[in-house]
Structure 1
Amino acid sequence: MTAPEPGRLDLGTAPPGVEPLDAARLAEGLRVHTAGLADAAAGLDPATPVPTCPEWRLRDLVGHIAQAHRWAATLVRTGEVGDVPDATRTEPGPPDAWPDLLREGAAELVDAIEGTGPGTVVFTYLGPRPAVFWLRRMLHDTSVHHADAAITAGVPFAIAPDLAADAISEGLELMSAPGAESFKPDLAALRGRGETLGLRPADGPLPGWVITRAPEGFRAEHAGPAATAAADVEITAPVRDLLLMLTRRRSPEEAGAAITGDRALLDHWLAHTAF
Protein backbone atom coordinates (compact mmCIF):
# COMPACT_ATOMS: atom_id res chain seq x y z
CA MET A 1 0.00 0.00 0.00
CA THR A 2 1.42 3.39 -0.98
CA ALA A 3 1.48 5.84 1.90
CA PRO A 4 -0.61 8.98 1.33
CA GLU A 5 1.00 12.39 1.36
CA PRO A 6 0.56 14.52 4.47
CA GLY A 7 -2.83 16.22 4.33
CA ARG A 8 -4.44 13.31 2.54
CA LEU A 9 -6.63 10.72 4.21
CA ASP A 10 -6.51 7.61 2.06
CA LEU A 11 -10.19 6.74 1.77
CA GLY A 12 -9.27 4.06 -0.72
CA THR A 13 -8.23 1.78 2.14
CA ALA A 14 -11.69 1.86 3.73
CA PRO A 15 -13.79 -1.30 3.64
CA PRO A 16 -16.18 -1.69 0.69
CA GLY A 17 -19.31 0.42 0.99
CA VAL A 18 -17.71 3.19 3.09
CA GLU A 19 -17.87 6.36 1.03
CA PRO A 20 -17.39 10.07 1.77
CA LEU A 21 -20.62 11.70 2.90
CA ASP A 22 -22.55 13.53 0.21
CA ALA A 23 -24.01 17.03 0.48
CA ALA A 24 -27.48 15.78 1.38
CA ARG A 25 -26.17 13.75 4.33
CA LEU A 26 -24.00 16.65 5.50
CA ALA A 27 -26.97 19.03 5.31
CA GLU A 28 -29.13 16.61 7.28
CA GLY A 29 -26.43 16.32 9.94
CA LEU A 30 -26.08 20.10 10.14
CA ARG A 31 -29.78 20.51 10.79
CA VAL A 32 -29.81 17.76 13.42
CA HIS A 33 -26.87 19.11 15.40
CA THR A 34 -27.93 22.73 15.12
CA ALA A 35 -31.28 21.74 16.59
CA GLY A 36 -29.51 19.62 19.20
CA LEU A 37 -27.39 22.56 20.30
CA ALA A 38 -30.49 24.75 20.55
CA ASP A 39 -32.31 22.13 22.63
CA ALA A 40 -29.35 21.65 24.98
CA ALA A 41 -29.00 25.40 25.53
CA ALA A 42 -32.72 25.94 26.18
CA GLY A 43 -33.53 27.22 29.64
CA LEU A 44 -29.93 27.82 30.72
CA ASP A 45 -28.51 31.14 31.88
CA PRO A 46 -26.69 32.77 28.91
CA ALA A 47 -23.78 33.55 31.24
CA THR A 48 -23.27 29.88 32.15
CA PRO A 49 -19.59 28.95 31.66
CA VAL A 50 -18.90 26.22 29.10
CA PRO A 51 -16.53 23.81 30.86
CA THR A 52 -15.12 22.35 27.64
CA CYS A 53 -14.47 25.86 26.22
CA PRO A 54 -13.20 27.57 29.38
CA GLU A 55 -13.03 31.08 27.91
CA TRP A 56 -16.62 30.99 26.67
CA ARG A 57 -20.03 31.46 28.18
CA LEU A 58 -23.09 29.78 26.70
CA ARG A 59 -24.03 32.94 24.80
CA ASP A 60 -20.58 32.86 23.15
CA LEU A 61 -21.15 29.29 22.01
CA VAL A 62 -24.55 30.10 20.50
CA GLY A 63 -23.32 33.33 18.94
CA HIS A 64 -20.33 31.60 17.38
CA ILE A 65 -22.42 28.96 15.62
CA ALA A 66 -25.13 31.38 14.53
CA GLN A 67 -22.60 33.74 12.98
CA ALA A 68 -20.29 31.05 11.57
CA HIS A 69 -23.13 29.52 9.53
CA ARG A 70 -24.04 32.92 8.10
CA TRP A 71 -20.41 33.83 7.43
CA ALA A 72 -19.88 30.59 5.48
CA ALA A 73 -23.16 31.08 3.60
CA THR A 74 -22.11 34.58 2.51
CA LEU A 75 -18.72 33.30 1.38
CA VAL A 76 -20.27 30.51 -0.69
CA ARG A 77 -22.97 32.72 -2.16
CA THR A 78 -20.88 35.82 -2.99
CA GLY A 79 -17.27 34.66 -2.96
CA GLU A 80 -16.47 37.43 -0.47
CA VAL A 81 -14.36 36.51 2.54
CA GLY A 82 -15.46 38.63 5.47
CA ASP A 83 -13.83 38.87 8.85
CA VAL A 84 -14.24 35.70 10.89
CA PRO A 85 -16.73 36.49 13.69
CA ASP A 86 -15.29 36.74 17.21
CA ALA A 87 -17.45 34.57 19.45
CA THR A 88 -16.83 36.72 22.52
CA ARG A 89 -18.03 39.83 20.65
CA THR A 90 -21.10 38.26 19.08
CA GLU A 91 -24.38 38.89 20.88
CA PRO A 92 -26.99 36.26 19.97
CA GLY A 93 -29.90 38.14 21.52
CA PRO A 94 -32.42 36.82 24.04
CA PRO A 95 -32.34 33.07 24.77
CA ASP A 96 -35.93 32.52 23.65
CA ALA A 97 -34.86 33.61 20.16
CA TRP A 98 -31.87 31.25 20.01
CA PRO A 99 -33.63 28.26 18.42
CA ASP A 100 -34.82 30.31 15.44
CA LEU A 101 -31.49 32.14 15.20
CA LEU A 102 -29.57 28.87 15.01
CA ARG A 103 -31.93 27.02 12.68
CA GLU A 104 -32.18 29.97 10.29
CA GLY A 105 -28.39 30.23 10.06
CA ALA A 106 -28.08 26.53 9.22
CA ALA A 107 -30.84 26.83 6.62
CA GLU A 108 -29.08 29.82 5.07
CA LEU A 109 -25.89 27.82 4.63
CA VAL A 110 -27.69 24.80 3.16
CA ASP A 111 -29.56 27.08 0.74
CA ALA A 112 -26.30 28.76 -0.30
CA ILE A 113 -24.65 25.40 -1.00
CA GLU A 114 -27.65 24.16 -2.96
CA GLY A 115 -27.97 27.42 -4.91
CA THR A 116 -24.28 27.68 -5.77
CA GLY A 117 -23.75 23.96 -6.25
CA PRO A 118 -21.74 21.71 -3.90
CA GLY A 119 -19.01 21.29 -6.51
CA THR A 120 -18.51 24.98 -7.21
CA VAL A 121 -14.94 25.95 -6.30
CA VAL A 122 -14.73 28.59 -3.58
CA PHE A 123 -12.19 30.04 -1.19
CA THR A 124 -11.13 28.00 1.83
CA TYR A 125 -8.20 28.53 4.16
CA LEU A 126 -6.63 25.42 2.59
CA GLY A 127 -6.87 26.86 -0.91
CA PRO A 128 -9.67 26.68 -3.52
CA ARG A 129 -12.00 23.74 -2.86
CA PRO A 130 -15.59 22.69 -3.67
CA ALA A 131 -18.25 24.62 -1.75
CA VAL A 132 -19.31 21.44 0.05
CA PHE A 133 -16.11 21.92 2.10
CA TRP A 134 -17.93 24.59 4.10
CA LEU A 135 -21.00 22.43 4.67
CA ARG A 136 -18.77 19.69 6.05
CA ARG A 137 -16.70 22.12 8.12
CA MET A 138 -19.74 23.79 9.65
CA LEU A 139 -21.42 20.45 10.37
CA HIS A 140 -18.47 19.15 12.35
CA ASP A 141 -17.87 22.45 14.13
CA THR A 142 -21.55 22.46 15.07
CA SER A 143 -21.61 18.84 16.22
CA VAL A 144 -18.65 19.35 18.56
CA HIS A 145 -20.22 22.53 19.95
CA HIS A 146 -23.49 20.62 20.35
CA ALA A 147 -21.45 18.32 22.59
CA ASP A 148 -20.19 21.40 24.48
CA ALA A 149 -23.75 22.57 25.07
CA ALA A 150 -24.87 19.10 26.12
CA ILE A 151 -21.98 18.77 28.59
CA THR A 152 -22.78 22.25 29.96
CA ALA A 153 -26.44 21.31 30.41
CA GLY A 154 -25.68 17.84 31.76
CA VAL A 155 -27.77 16.13 29.09
CA PRO A 156 -26.79 13.24 26.79
CA PHE A 157 -24.97 13.90 23.53
CA ALA A 158 -25.63 11.61 20.58
CA ILE A 159 -24.16 11.61 17.09
CA ALA A 160 -24.66 9.14 14.27
CA PRO A 161 -21.61 6.89 13.78
CA ASP A 162 -21.09 7.98 10.15
CA LEU A 163 -21.03 11.64 11.17
CA ALA A 164 -18.69 11.04 14.09
CA ALA A 165 -16.33 9.06 11.86
CA ASP A 166 -16.35 11.78 9.21
CA ALA A 167 -15.65 14.40 11.87
CA ILE A 168 -12.55 12.46 12.93
CA SER A 169 -11.45 12.09 9.30
CA GLU A 170 -11.94 15.78 8.62
CA GLY A 171 -9.99 16.76 11.72
CA LEU A 172 -7.06 14.61 10.64
CA GLU A 173 -7.21 16.06 7.13
CA LEU A 174 -7.22 19.64 8.39
CA MET A 175 -4.39 19.15 10.87
CA SER A 176 -2.15 17.37 8.34
CA ALA A 177 -2.84 19.73 5.44
CA PRO A 178 0.09 21.72 4.03
CA GLY A 179 0.30 25.03 5.88
CA ALA A 180 -1.64 23.85 8.94
CA GLU A 181 1.39 24.47 11.15
CA SER A 182 1.20 28.20 10.33
CA PHE A 183 -2.24 28.29 11.99
CA LYS A 184 -1.31 25.94 14.81
CA PRO A 185 2.47 25.88 15.47
CA ASP A 186 2.06 23.09 18.04
CA LEU A 187 1.33 20.70 15.16
CA ALA A 188 5.04 20.76 14.29
CA ALA A 189 5.62 18.71 17.43
CA LEU A 190 3.70 15.85 15.79
CA ARG A 191 6.49 15.18 13.32
CA GLY A 192 8.24 11.96 14.17
CA ARG A 193 10.23 8.96 13.04
CA GLY A 194 7.50 6.55 12.11
CA GLU A 195 5.65 6.29 15.42
CA THR A 196 2.07 5.13 14.89
CA LEU A 197 -1.27 5.58 16.63
CA GLY A 198 -4.23 3.34 15.85
CA LEU A 199 -7.79 4.55 16.38
CA ARG A 200 -10.27 1.70 16.44
CA PRO A 201 -14.04 2.28 16.64
CA ALA A 202 -15.62 -0.32 18.90
CA ASP A 203 -19.02 -0.09 17.23
CA GLY A 204 -20.04 -1.80 14.01
CA PRO A 205 -18.13 -2.19 10.75
CA LEU A 206 -16.62 1.29 10.69
CA PRO A 207 -12.99 1.49 9.58
CA GLY A 208 -10.42 2.86 11.97
CA TRP A 209 -7.42 5.08 11.34
CA VAL A 210 -3.66 4.68 11.58
CA ILE A 211 -1.70 7.89 12.11
CA THR A 212 1.99 7.81 11.21
CA ARG A 213 4.31 10.51 12.50
CA ALA A 214 6.87 11.10 9.75
CA PRO A 215 9.72 13.67 9.62
CA GLU A 216 7.78 15.82 7.14
CA GLY A 217 4.56 15.68 9.14
CA PHE A 218 1.97 13.15 10.11
CA ARG A 219 -0.28 11.26 7.72
CA ALA A 220 -3.48 9.32 8.33
CA GLU A 221 -4.98 6.30 6.62
CA HIS A 222 -8.17 4.36 7.07
CA ALA A 223 -7.33 0.96 8.49
CA GLY A 224 -8.91 -2.24 9.75
CA PRO A 225 -8.49 -3.85 13.19
CA ALA A 226 -5.30 -5.73 12.28
CA ALA A 227 -3.55 -2.50 11.28
CA THR A 228 -4.72 -0.49 14.30
CA ALA A 229 -3.65 -3.33 16.61
CA ALA A 230 -0.17 -3.25 15.08
CA ALA A 231 0.29 0.46 15.90
CA ASP A 232 2.58 1.60 18.70
CA VAL A 233 -0.52 2.58 20.63
CA GLU A 234 -4.07 1.48 19.87
CA ILE A 235 -7.07 3.36 21.26
CA THR A 236 -10.43 1.58 21.12
CA ALA A 237 -13.78 3.17 21.98
CA PRO A 238 -17.17 3.80 20.37
CA VAL A 239 -16.68 6.28 17.56
CA ARG A 240 -18.66 8.98 19.39
CA ASP A 241 -16.27 8.68 22.32
CA LEU A 242 -13.20 8.66 20.07
CA LEU A 243 -14.45 11.96 18.64
CA LEU A 244 -15.01 13.46 22.10
CA MET A 245 -11.56 12.29 23.19
CA LEU A 246 -9.77 13.60 20.09
CA THR A 247 -11.49 16.98 20.45
CA ARG A 248 -10.61 16.92 24.15
CA ARG A 249 -14.20 17.09 25.31
CA ARG A 250 -13.50 13.93 27.31
CA SER A 251 -10.32 12.43 28.67
CA PRO A 252 -9.44 8.90 27.50
CA GLU A 253 -10.70 7.63 30.85
CA GLU A 254 -13.97 9.57 30.62
CA ALA A 255 -14.39 8.26 27.08
CA GLY A 256 -13.97 4.70 28.34
CA ALA A 257 -11.14 4.11 25.89
CA ALA A 258 -9.14 0.90 25.99
CA ILE A 259 -5.49 1.78 25.40
CA THR A 260 -2.89 -0.77 24.40
CA GLY A 261 0.75 0.09 23.91
CA ASP A 262 2.62 3.37 24.40
CA ARG A 263 0.23 5.64 26.33
CA ALA A 264 2.75 8.49 26.18
CA LEU A 265 2.25 8.72 22.39
CA LEU A 266 -1.46 9.33 22.90
CA ASP A 267 -0.90 11.89 25.64
CA HIS A 268 1.61 13.73 23.44
CA TRP A 269 -0.86 13.73 20.55
CA LEU A 270 -3.69 15.13 22.66
CA ALA A 271 -1.44 17.80 24.19
CA HIS A 272 -0.38 19.14 20.80
CA THR A 273 -3.71 19.03 18.95
CA ALA A 274 -5.70 21.20 21.37
CA PHE A 275 -7.38 24.19 19.71
Structure 2
Amino acid sequence: MLDVERYFLELESETVRLAGLSHDADSQCPIPTCPGWTLEQLVGHVGRGHRWAAELIRRRLLEPIPMQEAVVPADPDERSEWLTAGARMLADAVRAAGPEQVVWTWQKDRTAGFWVRRMLHDELVHRFDAELALGIEGDLAADLAADGVSDILETAATLSRPDIGVSSAFAGLAGTGESLQFLATDTDLGPNCEWSVVRAPAGVTWRHGYDQAQVTVRGPALQLMLLLNRRLPVGTADVEIVGDQELFAHWLANSRF
Protein backbone atom coordinates (compact mmCIF):
# COMPACT_ATOMS: atom_id res chain seq x y z
CA MET A 1 0.00 0.00 0.00
CA LEU A 2 1.00 3.60 -0.52
CA ASP A 3 0.87 6.43 2.00
CA VAL A 4 -2.66 7.68 2.66
CA GLU A 5 -1.70 11.22 1.61
CA ARG A 6 -0.72 9.82 -1.77
CA TYR A 7 -4.20 8.32 -2.11
CA PHE A 8 -5.79 11.68 -1.30
CA LEU A 9 -3.57 13.39 -3.89
CA GLU A 10 -4.24 10.80 -6.59
CA LEU A 11 -8.00 10.76 -5.92
CA GLU A 12 -8.15 14.51 -6.55
CA SER A 13 -5.92 14.26 -9.62
CA GLU A 14 -7.79 11.35 -11.18
CA THR A 15 -11.16 12.97 -10.61
CA VAL A 16 -10.01 16.17 -12.30
CA ARG A 17 -8.69 14.07 -15.17
CA LEU A 18 -11.95 12.15 -15.61
CA ALA A 19 -13.94 15.38 -15.27
CA GLY A 20 -11.90 16.85 -18.10
CA LEU A 21 -12.55 13.85 -20.33
CA SER A 22 -16.26 14.04 -19.54
CA HIS A 23 -16.37 17.78 -20.14
CA ASP A 24 -14.88 17.67 -23.60
CA ALA A 25 -16.51 14.51 -25.00
CA ASP A 26 -20.02 13.50 -26.01
CA SER A 27 -21.74 12.37 -22.81
CA GLN A 28 -23.55 9.66 -24.81
CA CYS A 29 -20.32 8.14 -26.12
CA PRO A 30 -20.56 4.35 -25.58
CA ILE A 31 -17.97 2.68 -23.35
CA PRO A 32 -16.99 -0.65 -24.96
CA THR A 33 -15.21 -1.95 -21.86
CA CYS A 34 -18.39 -1.35 -19.81
CA PRO A 35 -21.01 -2.82 -22.18
CA GLY A 36 -24.27 -0.87 -22.12
CA TRP A 37 -22.76 2.20 -20.46
CA THR A 38 -22.33 5.67 -21.87
CA LEU A 39 -19.77 8.17 -20.66
CA GLU A 40 -22.55 9.90 -18.71
CA GLN A 41 -23.40 6.63 -16.94
CA LEU A 42 -19.73 5.98 -16.17
CA VAL A 43 -19.41 9.43 -14.59
CA GLY A 44 -22.62 8.80 -12.64
CA HIS A 45 -21.26 5.52 -11.30
CA VAL A 46 -18.04 7.16 -10.10
CA GLY A 47 -19.79 10.19 -8.59
CA ARG A 48 -22.39 8.10 -6.78
CA GLY A 49 -19.65 5.89 -5.37
CA HIS A 50 -17.82 8.89 -3.93
CA ARG A 51 -20.98 10.18 -2.25
CA TRP A 52 -22.04 6.76 -0.96
CA ALA A 53 -18.66 6.09 0.67
CA ALA A 54 -18.54 9.62 2.10
CA GLU A 55 -21.96 9.15 3.74
CA LEU A 56 -20.97 5.80 5.19
CA ILE A 57 -17.85 7.35 6.73
CA ARG A 58 -19.54 10.53 7.97
CA ARG A 59 -22.08 8.40 9.86
CA ARG A 60 -19.40 5.93 11.11
CA LEU A 61 -21.61 3.10 9.87
CA LEU A 62 -20.81 -0.55 10.55
CA GLU A 63 -23.32 -1.88 8.02
CA PRO A 64 -23.73 -1.01 4.34
CA ILE A 65 -26.36 1.40 3.11
CA PRO A 66 -28.18 1.55 -0.24
CA MET A 67 -26.53 3.63 -2.93
CA GLN A 68 -28.73 6.58 -3.79
CA GLU A 69 -29.63 7.51 -7.33
CA ALA A 70 -28.18 10.77 -8.60
CA VAL A 71 -28.83 12.85 -11.68
CA VAL A 72 -25.67 13.64 -13.60
CA PRO A 73 -25.84 17.27 -14.81
CA ALA A 74 -26.17 17.63 -18.56
CA ASP A 75 -24.18 20.86 -18.70
CA PRO A 76 -20.45 20.01 -19.11
CA ASP A 77 -19.28 22.59 -16.55
CA GLU A 78 -21.85 21.44 -13.99
CA ARG A 79 -21.04 17.79 -14.69
CA SER A 80 -17.35 18.36 -14.04
CA GLU A 81 -18.08 20.22 -10.80
CA TRP A 82 -20.51 17.51 -9.68
CA LEU A 83 -17.86 14.84 -10.17
CA THR A 84 -15.04 16.71 -8.42
CA ALA A 85 -17.38 17.71 -5.57
CA GLY A 86 -18.07 14.05 -4.83
CA ALA A 87 -14.35 13.29 -4.55
CA ARG A 88 -13.94 16.22 -2.16
CA MET A 89 -16.82 14.90 -0.04
CA LEU A 90 -15.07 11.54 0.26
CA ALA A 91 -11.66 13.00 1.06
CA ASP A 92 -13.13 15.43 3.60
CA ALA A 93 -15.10 12.65 5.29
CA VAL A 94 -12.00 10.47 5.67
CA ARG A 95 -9.90 13.34 6.98
CA ALA A 96 -12.61 14.34 9.48
CA ALA A 97 -13.08 10.80 10.76
CA GLY A 98 -9.43 9.83 10.52
CA PRO A 99 -8.14 7.11 8.14
CA GLU A 100 -8.14 4.55 10.99
CA GLN A 101 -11.80 5.13 11.92
CA VAL A 102 -13.64 1.79 11.93
CA VAL A 103 -16.42 1.64 9.32
CA TRP A 104 -18.08 -1.02 7.23
CA THR A 105 -16.13 -2.35 4.26
CA TRP A 106 -16.38 -5.60 2.36
CA GLN A 107 -12.74 -6.55 2.97
CA LYS A 108 -10.55 -7.30 6.00
CA ASP A 109 -9.47 -3.66 6.17
CA ARG A 110 -12.35 -2.08 8.12
CA THR A 111 -11.12 1.51 8.10
CA ALA A 112 -12.24 4.76 6.51
CA GLY A 113 -8.89 4.90 4.73
CA PHE A 114 -9.84 1.76 2.83
CA TRP A 115 -12.45 3.71 0.89
CA VAL A 116 -10.00 6.33 -0.42
CA ARG A 117 -7.81 3.60 -1.89
CA ARG A 118 -10.70 1.47 -3.20
CA MET A 119 -12.56 4.36 -4.79
CA LEU A 120 -9.33 5.66 -6.29
CA HIS A 121 -8.61 2.36 -8.00
CA ASP A 122 -12.20 2.04 -9.16
CA GLU A 123 -11.93 5.50 -10.69
CA LEU A 124 -8.54 4.77 -12.23
CA VAL A 125 -9.97 1.82 -14.13
CA HIS A 126 -12.95 3.87 -15.26
CA ARG A 127 -10.68 6.72 -16.39
CA PHE A 128 -9.00 4.18 -18.65
CA ASP A 129 -12.46 3.01 -19.78
CA ALA A 130 -13.19 6.56 -20.91
CA GLU A 131 -9.81 6.98 -22.57
CA LEU A 132 -10.06 3.68 -24.41
CA ALA A 133 -13.51 4.69 -25.68
CA LEU A 134 -12.17 8.04 -26.87
CA GLY A 135 -9.04 6.62 -28.50
CA ILE A 136 -6.70 8.19 -25.95
CA GLU A 137 -3.59 6.37 -24.71
CA GLY A 138 -3.59 6.91 -20.96
CA ASP A 139 -0.67 6.73 -18.57
CA LEU A 140 -0.12 6.06 -14.88
CA ALA A 141 2.77 6.06 -12.42
CA ALA A 142 4.22 2.57 -12.11
CA ASP A 143 3.92 2.39 -8.31
CA LEU A 144 0.24 3.34 -8.47
CA ALA A 145 -0.36 0.76 -11.21
CA ALA A 146 1.38 -1.86 -9.07
CA ASP A 147 -0.86 -0.91 -6.15
CA GLY A 148 -3.77 -1.44 -8.54
CA VAL A 149 -2.57 -4.99 -9.19
CA SER A 150 -2.57 -5.61 -5.43
CA ASP A 151 -6.05 -4.07 -5.19
CA ILE A 152 -7.59 -6.41 -7.76
CA LEU A 153 -5.88 -9.41 -6.16
CA GLU A 154 -7.32 -8.39 -2.77
CA THR A 155 -10.73 -8.21 -4.42
CA ALA A 156 -10.26 -11.69 -5.86
CA ALA A 157 -9.10 -13.04 -2.49
CA THR A 158 -12.21 -11.72 -0.74
CA LEU A 159 -14.83 -12.52 -3.36
CA SER A 160 -13.53 -16.01 -4.23
CA ARG A 161 -14.14 -17.32 -0.70
CA PRO A 162 -16.98 -19.86 -0.56
CA ASP A 163 -18.00 -18.61 2.90
CA ILE A 164 -18.76 -14.96 2.02
CA GLY A 165 -22.46 -15.76 1.82
CA VAL A 166 -23.20 -13.94 -1.44
CA SER A 167 -23.03 -14.90 -5.08
CA SER A 168 -19.81 -13.64 -6.64
CA ALA A 169 -18.40 -13.61 -10.14
CA PHE A 170 -15.06 -14.51 -8.54
CA ALA A 171 -16.34 -17.74 -6.97
CA GLY A 172 -14.86 -19.80 -9.80
CA LEU A 173 -11.35 -18.78 -8.75
CA ALA A 174 -11.42 -21.11 -5.75
CA GLY A 175 -9.30 -24.08 -6.80
CA THR A 176 -7.14 -26.99 -5.75
CA GLY A 177 -3.74 -25.33 -5.39
CA GLU A 178 -3.22 -23.94 -8.89
CA SER A 179 -0.50 -21.27 -8.88
CA LEU A 180 0.03 -18.04 -10.83
CA GLN A 181 2.83 -15.50 -10.76
CA PHE A 182 2.61 -11.86 -11.85
CA LEU A 183 5.83 -9.92 -12.42
CA ALA A 184 6.09 -6.17 -13.14
CA THR A 185 9.07 -5.26 -15.27
CA ASP A 186 9.23 -1.59 -14.20
CA THR A 187 12.34 -0.46 -12.38
CA ASP A 188 12.36 0.89 -8.80
CA LEU A 189 9.24 -0.94 -7.60
CA GLY A 190 11.23 -2.93 -5.05
CA PRO A 191 9.39 -5.86 -3.44
CA ASN A 192 6.06 -4.66 -4.83
CA CYS A 193 6.88 -5.89 -8.33
CA GLU A 194 6.05 -9.58 -7.71
CA TRP A 195 2.76 -11.23 -6.79
CA SER A 196 2.50 -14.92 -6.00
CA VAL A 197 -1.06 -16.28 -6.21
CA VAL A 198 -2.61 -19.64 -5.24
CA ARG A 199 -6.14 -20.82 -5.99
CA ALA A 200 -7.03 -22.77 -2.85
CA PRO A 201 -10.34 -24.49 -1.93
CA ALA A 202 -11.01 -21.66 0.56
CA GLY A 203 -10.41 -19.04 -2.13
CA VAL A 204 -7.53 -17.11 -3.62
CA THR A 205 -4.49 -16.27 -1.52
CA TRP A 206 -1.63 -14.03 -2.57
CA ARG A 207 1.54 -12.41 -1.30
CA HIS A 208 4.31 -10.23 -2.59
CA GLY A 209 7.30 -12.30 -3.67
CA TYR A 210 8.37 -14.89 -6.19
CA ASP A 211 7.47 -18.58 -6.33
CA GLN A 212 7.61 -21.14 -9.08
CA ALA A 213 4.15 -21.18 -10.65
CA GLN A 214 2.17 -23.01 -13.30
CA VAL A 215 1.80 -19.78 -15.26
CA THR A 216 3.76 -16.52 -15.10
CA VAL A 217 2.54 -13.22 -16.56
CA ARG A 218 5.26 -10.60 -16.99
CA GLY A 219 5.01 -7.00 -18.18
CA PRO A 220 4.80 -3.34 -17.09
CA ALA A 221 2.66 -2.79 -14.00
CA LEU A 222 0.14 -0.72 -15.96
CA GLN A 223 -0.33 -3.49 -18.50
CA LEU A 224 -0.80 -6.03 -15.69
CA MET A 225 -3.33 -3.78 -13.95
CA LEU A 226 -5.37 -3.25 -17.10
CA LEU A 227 -5.19 -6.92 -18.07
CA LEU A 228 -6.26 -8.17 -14.64
CA ASN A 229 -9.12 -5.66 -14.66
CA ARG A 230 -10.11 -7.03 -18.07
CA ARG A 231 -9.55 -3.69 -19.80
CA LEU A 232 -7.08 -5.14 -22.32
CA PRO A 233 -7.45 -8.42 -24.21
CA VAL A 234 -4.56 -10.84 -23.79
CA GLY A 235 -3.66 -10.43 -27.45
CA THR A 236 -3.17 -6.66 -27.20
CA ALA A 237 -1.58 -6.35 -23.75
CA ASP A 238 2.18 -5.84 -23.67
CA VAL A 239 2.81 -8.91 -21.52
CA GLU A 240 4.58 -12.25 -21.78
CA ILE A 241 2.70 -15.34 -20.59
CA VAL A 242 4.79 -18.41 -19.84
CA GLY A 243 3.33 -21.73 -18.77
CA ASP A 244 -0.28 -22.88 -18.54
CA GLN A 245 -2.14 -20.48 -20.83
CA GLU A 246 -5.50 -22.11 -20.05
CA LEU A 247 -5.00 -21.49 -16.33
CA PHE A 248 -4.61 -17.77 -16.91
CA ALA A 249 -7.53 -17.74 -19.36
CA HIS A 250 -9.65 -19.37 -16.62
CA TRP A 251 -8.58 -16.61 -14.19
CA LEU A 252 -9.71 -13.90 -16.59
CA ALA A 253 -12.99 -15.67 -17.32
CA ASN A 254 -13.79 -15.85 -13.61
CA SER A 255 -12.73 -12.38 -12.49
CA ARG A 256 -15.37 -10.06 -13.88
CA PHE A 257 -16.02 -7.18 -11.47
- Indicate whether the TM-score tops 0.5: yes
* Cα contact 2:219–2:238 (8 A) shared by 1: yes
1:114-159 CA distance string (max 9 Å, x none) = 1110011011133671110111111111111111111111112111
TM-score normalised by structure 1 residue count: 0.85
Partner in structure 1 of residue 253 of structure 2: 271
Unaligned residue ranges in structure 1 (runs of 5+) = 1-19
1:20-74 CA distance string (max 9 Å, x none) = 2121011111111111211222322211110100121111001111111111111
RMSD: 1.8
* Cα contact 2:22–2:40 (8 A) shared by 1: no
Detail structure 1 runs of 4+ shifted over 6 Å in the superposition: none
1:170-213 CA distance string (max 9 Å, x none) = 22112212568544534232222221111111111332101111
How far apart are 1:241 and its partner, in Å? Answer: 0.7
Partner in structure 1 of residue 47 of structure 2: 66
Q: Does structure 1 residue 203 correspond to structure 2 residue 186?
A: yes
Partner in structure 1 of residue 216 of structure 2: 234
Distance in 2, matches of 1:56 and 1:73, equals 24
Counterpart among 229, 249, 260 of residue 242 in structure 2: 260
Distance in 2, matches of 1:191 and 1:111, equals 38
Counterpart among 59, 66, 72 of residue 92 in structure 1: 72
One-letter amino acid of the counterpart of residue 100, structure 2 = G
Larger relative CO (CA 8 A, sep 6+): 1 or 2? 1
- 1:67–1:272 Cα change, 3 Å: same
TM-score normalised by structure 2 residue count: 0.90
Unaligned residue ranges in structure 2 (runs of 5+) = none
Counterpart among 121, 127, 133 of residue 152 in structure 1: 133
Partner in structure 1 of residue 154 of structure 2: 173
One-letter amino acid of the counterpart of residue 215, structure 1 = P
What is the aligned residue count? 249
Distance in 1, matches of 2:101 and 2:132, equals 36
Distance in 2, matches of 1:65 and 1:191, equals 29
Distance in 1, matches of 2:154 and 2:163, equals 10
How far apart are 1:253 and its partner, in Å? Answer: 2.0
Distance in 1, matches of 2:162 and 2:115, equals 18
Partner in structure 1 of residue 110 of structure 2: 129
Distance in 2, matches of 1:25 and 1:200, equals 23
Distance in 1, matches of 2:223 and 2:52, equals 30
Partner in structure 2 of residue 249 of structure 1: 231
